[in-house]
Chain A
Amino acid sequence: MKNRTFFWFILPSLITMLLFIALPIVSVAVQSLHIEHEAVMVEVENCGPFGCKQELQVDVEETAKLKEERPLGQFNGLGTYTNRNHLAFSEIGLAWRSSTGLVDFMSKALNLPFYRALAFTLTYTFVVTPLVIIFGFMIALGVNTLPKRIKGPTIFISLLPMIVTPLIGSLILFWMIDANGILGATLQRIFDDPNLSLKASPALTWIMLMVYGVWHSAPFAFIVFYAGLQTVPADTMEAAMIDGASRWERTRYVVLPHLMPLTVFISLIQLMDNFRVFEPIVSFSAQASATSLSWIIYNDLVGTESQFFGSAGATSVLTIIGVSILLIPVLIRTWRDFNQKVV
């Protein structure tokens, strides 16, 4: 294709990407560098059904003047990024100097909201992603050997966890694991412990969220692998069989290498998705024990009376940076494979 033709061909999607992806990200980044204007306060008398009280209020006219001058707010540079509710440079420095050992330092760092969320987010990502790939692959191998008649229904049922809306799926699980729910009550019976509660202990809450994550995402890996299994060359398989390869050896030396590009693809998507874990935390009401970066953004914008746009912007930018760092190894690998093929 000529360069010129290619340019016109790609122009519409280029414009759309600029408008709906690049510009919003730039605006979020700009917002994250600003904080609200200094509020001009006056002491006034507030009266209501329960009596009167002298209280501070915002002087609307004076503050409106400030806003008119600079609508974006005060420029704060990277101040929001480094404050306690985000990267907390000075708190981390202090913790480092005053700690008696690495364990003490870690516990001090994990007391800060950003690092606490990061700890859960990374653990979730690195536990759920490999498990999703392994389970997805195993389900695909299993379904592939089923007789044709029951294949269709089995595939449909296996896909259900992905079809159900994440919010609804996790809410249903939340009710099931309640102390009065079917799973929660059964567990209490099995372990003979009436105080066992999956929602009360942080460790059990983490495990529960990860089990949910695997349950929800495994069907995605399964369907991709299943499609891939249909393309495994029959010749190679037959040759391997004639050479006396067992089922395990055929899977290990023929099927797996053939599906490697798909594994890279699934890891890429899953790393991105899992790093943005959010819905289960909300529907499991798990914020006391587990928070994620996306949950921090949500908490800045929803449920409070005044929204923290600068703070939410800063966490969003940090999330984008985090996703990019995670994806670098996978992207390098893809790039290398691509170059080898060209040569």
Chain B
Amino acid sequence: MFLKTITFAGAFALLGSTAIAGCGISGGNVSVLSNDFPAIQAVTSAAAACAGDGVTVETNLTKDHKDIMVAALTANPAQYSSVVVSNSTLVTLMNDGLVRPLDEMVAKHGAALSKSQLITVNGKVMAVAFMANAQHLFSRTDVLEAAGVDGIPATYEDVLAAAEKIRAAGLMDYPVALNTKAGWNLAEEFVNMYMGTGADFFKSGTAEAAVNNENGVATLEMLKSLVAYSNPDYLTYDSNATQAEWEAGNLALATMWGSRGSAVLDDEGSTAEVVSGTVLSAAPTWGNDARPASTLWWDGIAISTNASDEDAEATFVAMMNGISSDVVKANNDAAVWLDGAYMPSPASAGVSSTAAGGAAPYPMLPFMGALHTALGAEITDFLQGSESAKQALADVEAAYTAAAKEQGFLK
């Protein structure tokens, strides 16, 4: 990983001579906080190439960015002039007014951006998105063929039938995996599946949870049918674990993040057999609904309220350099980029077709995080068989209500 980062940095240092000329910043301090995966590494290293001539660029790429971002941006001046945000983290920052509107800067420096990249809230641009992500189906076509399954499953019912055939043929005992680690990951699987039904999580116009209904019950039943084909340790499986299991050739059908696609399809960490058999496709639909059971996510750039105007502008320009068409072309397969220069590839086919299939974005609601936490803690009882689906959903709503009251969303 370290070596990889160094190579990235080195590559961009070489590109630097042209990049600096393109940055055109007169001065300022740029500091970026973000998640850590290859596409973001590419963006931040390209932004770092703007350093020099009175401009400093610092980056902090960490998986734990969510835990520190609010405290770091509440300080005045803020610890970071920019945070790479997603659907859910932008809302958290906006709840406390920690990120600034970008309309003026977009007008001045954002000529290259397309309108769909602008995240607007109440008419104001609050973030600039540069990539899309979603969980979708990864299939091993060679295993499916050997088990006599025709084509790639398009619905979760097909996934279950295919899994049964693979098991019956004695090819694998546990062919299916989802990111089902208790907590955030498991809750995200519930959200994905529930979104496939098209139902809402809250009573319209209020913060009252509304998941305890027949859609919620059906969602839980479907998850339980799927984990019956997963390794018994499924409640400890996060995205690192599922990727490792996939690369080890232990899985045939898995719902994983699109951002894992390029890592699965590269020639590291796995055998040629697994890589050549792997196909990425849209998230399956289920029930009577045609909407892929997944949530669409974007990653984008937000600028701190508590940074000086000079730093904010320097940061915006540096980050525009980070997401420029040149960077997208050089890292085409690392993500599903929203820039016009992006060329679709096998590694991104899953995310593109999930979006094209009409999957909905993850809800940008200020109280969604509390519901997500409650889901992650309360639905394990049902999956382990110690509780009915109705009871598990009633527990989710009760836990959420208590938490939402503490956060002032409910009285």
Task: Give the distance in Å from the alpha carbon of A89 to the alpha carbon of B188 in the complex.
Answer: 31
Complex Cα distance A49/B337, Å? 11
With A35-B406, A310-B406: A45-B96 Cβ-Cβ less than 8 Å:
no
The digit string for A79-104, where 1 denotes a CB below 8 A from any CB of B, is: 01001110000010000000000000
**Could you mark each residue 353-385 of chain B with 1 if its beta carbon is under 8 Å from any beta carbon of chain A, else 0?**
001000011011110011011000100110010
Question: Cβ of A288 and Cβ of B380 under 8 Å apart?
Answer: yes
Inside 8 A of A289's CB, which chain B residues have their CB?
235, 380, 384
Q: State whether B205 touches A56 (Cβ < 8 A).
A: yes
Q: Which of A58, A84, A310 is in CB contact (< 8 Å) with B398?
A: A84
Contact for A302 among B67, B87, B296, CB less than 8 A: B67
With both chains docked as a complex, state the minimum distance between the C-beta of B190 and any C-beta of chain A, in angstroms.
14
A85, A194, A299: which has the most chain B beta carbons within 10 Å? A85
Indicate if the CB atoms of B408 and A57 lie closer than 8 Å: no
With A36-B407, A49-B132, A111-B381: A306-B369 Cβ-Cβ less than 8 Å: yes
Contact between A84 and B408, CB atoms less than 8 A apart: no
A232 an interface residue at 8 Å Cβ cutoff? no
Tell me whether A60 and B406 are in contact (CB under 8 A).
Answer: no
- Nearest opposing residue in chain A for B87, CB measure: A48
Given contacts A43-B205, A285-B181, A306-B70, contact A57 B399 (CB under 8 A): no
Establish whether residues B360 and A64, one from each chain, have CB atoms under 8 Å apart when the complex forms: no
Q: Which of A57, A58, A80, A111 is in CB contact (< 8 Å) with B406?
A: A80
Answer yes or no: A158 CB below 8 A from chain B CBs: no
How many chain B residues touch the partner (CB < 8 A)?
A: 69
Give bound CA distance, A179 to B121, whole Å.
48
Min distance, Cβ A333 to any Cβ of chain B, angstroms: 39
CB neighbours (8 Å) of B399 from chain A are: 84-85, 113
The answer to whether A306 touches B406 (Cβ under 8 A) is no
A142 to B363, CA, bound (A): 62
Q: Which of B111-119, B152-160, B342-350 contacts A (4 or more CB under 8 A)?
A: B111-119
- Kindly identify which residue among A43, A111, A288 contacts B395, using a CB–CB cutoff of 8 Å: A111
Q: Mark B84-101, 1 if CB is under 8 A from A, else 0.
A: 000111011011110000
Indicate whether A57 sits within 8 Å of B121 (C-beta atoms), given known contacts A36-B408, A84-B398.
yes
Please give, as numbers and ranges, the residues of chain A lying within 8 Å of B361 by CB-CB distance.
48, 50-51, 53
Q: Which of A48, A53, A57, A284 has the most CB of B within 10 A?
A: A48
Q: Is the CB of A47 within 8 A of B118?
A: yes
A85, B364: Cβ atoms closer than 8 Å: no
- B354–chain A nearest beta-carbon distance, Å: 11
Q: How far is it, in angstroms, between the C-alpha of A230 and the C-alpha of B66 when the chains are bound?
A: 52
User: Is the C-beta of A153 less than 8 angstroms from some C-beta in chain B?
Assistant: no
Is residue B286 contacting chain A, with contact meaning CB distance below 8 A?
Answer: no
CB of A178 within 8 Å of the partner chain? yes
A interface residues, how many (CB within 8 angstroms): 59
Are B296 and A195 in contact, CB atoms less than 8 angstroms apart? no
Q: Tell me if B215 is interfacial: C-beta within 8 Å of chain A.
A: no
- Asked if A178 contacts B233 (CB within 8 A), the reply is yes
The CA-CA distance from A84 to B378 in the complex, in Å, is 13
Mask of B110-140 contacts with A, CB within 8 angstroms, 1/0: 0000001111111100000100100000000
**Minimal beta-carbon separation of A306 from chain B (angstroms):** 5
Tell me whether B261 is interfacial, beta carbon within 8 Å: no
The answer on a CB contact under 8 Å between B406 and A36 is yes
Q: Kindly state whether residue A276 has any CB partner on chain B within 8 Å.
A: no
CB contact under 8 A between A46 and B407, given known A57-B94, A299-B377: no
Find chain B residues with CB under 8 A from A200 CB: 232-235
B147 lies within 8 A of chain A by Cβ: no
Q: Tell yes or no: B37 within 8 A of A by CB.
A: no
Distance (Å) between the CB of A52 and the closest chain B CB? 8
Contact A287 B182 (CB under 8 A): yes
Give chain A nearest CB distance to B102 CB in angstroms: 13
B70 / chain A contacts, CB cutoff of 8 Å: 306-307
Does A303 lie at the interface of the complex (its beta carbon under 8 Å from any beta carbon of B)? yes
Chain A contact residues, CB within 8 Å of chain B: 35-39, 41-51, 53, 55-58, 60-61, 63-64, 73-74, 76, 80, 83-85, 91, 111, 113, 178-179, 194-195, 197, 199-200, 202, 284-285, 287-289, 299, 301-308, 310-311
Which of B's residues lie within 8 Å of A, judged by CB? 64, 66-67, 70, 87-89, 91-92, 94-97, 116-123, 129, 132, 173, 181-184, 205, 207, 231-236, 238, 296, 298, 338, 355, 360-361, 363-366, 369-370, 372-373, 377, 380-381, 384, 387, 391, 395, 398-399, 401-403, 405-409, 411
Q: List 30 A-B contacts (CB under 8 A).
A: A38-B408, A39-B366, A39-B409, A41-B409, A42-B122, A45-B121, A48-B116, A48-B119, A48-B120, A48-B298, A49-B298, A56-B205, A57-B94, A73-B408, A83-B405, A84-B402, A85-B403, A111-B387, A179-B232, A197-B232, A200-B234, A284-B236, A285-B181, A285-B182, A304-B370, A305-B89, A306-B92, A306-B95, A306-B369, A307-B70
